[in-house]
Structure 1
Amino acid sequence: EMTGQLEAPIEKGQQVGKVIYSVDGKDVASQPLVALETVNEGSFFSKIIDMVKKFVYGLFN
């Protein structure tokens, strides 16, 4: 379970969501989903490339 898209920067150990285990449609357990490593904010050009990728992805979904 995630509340939205992830955006850098993300710190190592930061909670980014939750894993929910279910059996027969019933939630039986949950655990936090945490980043295993730090992800730094990208450069200007990598941000432009990411914006184009998100746009194209949005066209097909």
Structure 2
Amino acid sequence: MLVIIRLFLLLSILPFLSPLFLFLLGLALICATLLSWSPSPSRQVSRYLYSQACLVGGRL
């Protein structure tokens, strides 16, 4: 979990990424981490959340 938070902080330093995208990406990473401890259907949900965050971030 700490690794994800550090990765999020490193990404937030990069100027070309928008704050909303960083928020969505961080939220998706946290959801993916929490759901990775659950059965496989939850992993599919976490992948969906991650892909949606990437799509929204790409449109900004």
Taking structure 1 as the reference length, what is the TM-score of the superposition?
0.38
TM-score, normalization by structure 2? 0.38
Q: Higher Cα Rg: structure 1 or 2?
A: 1
